[in-house]
Amino acid sequence: MQRRRDPRFRLRHEHEFFCRGRHKNGENYLFEIKDISDGGCALMTRSPNLKFLSHNAILKNAILALAEYGEITVDLVIKNVVMVTLDDNEKSDSYYQISCQFKFRHLDNKKRIEKVLLDLIMEAKRKKRV
């Protein structure tokens, strides 16, 4: 069953969107944002510290670095972690996908995410017309 109510925007490599922060033990992390909706995001990494990524664990004060759109600080609730393997004829490549739900501390941050999504959708539509 699909949990997601909100449409998600799959990011291509043209967008330099990352999530960074610090685990409880002081270890820094940096994940690439794979897709985003106003309800959450999917993150990608090759070598996560799985000890901090169990179901319903919270990444507090995670910074979403959204390139020209700036940075937004949110708490991320971990919903799922899976290993994804891309099988090419010559080689296979794997990464972890971390599905997260946003937990906003301020309503302004939720509105900023919604505006970023709207801008991304409008930009994609303009590119299709050109």
- The region of weakest confidence among 4-13, 98-107, 121-130 is 4-13
Which residue ranges make up each domain of the chain? 9-121
Query: How is domain 9-121 classified at the CATH fold level?
Result: Thrombin, subunit H (2.40.10)
Cite the DSSP H helix spans in 18-106: none
What's this model's pTM, rounded to 2 decimal places?
A: 0.86
pLDDT tens digits along 50-100: 999 999 999 999 999 999 999 999 999 999 999 998 876 666 788 999 999
Cβ neighbours for 61, distance < 8 A, ≥ 6 positions apart: 21, 22, 73, 75
Identify the CA nearest to 99 among candidates 84, 87, 113: 84
φ/ψ of residue 69, rounded to 5: -90, -5
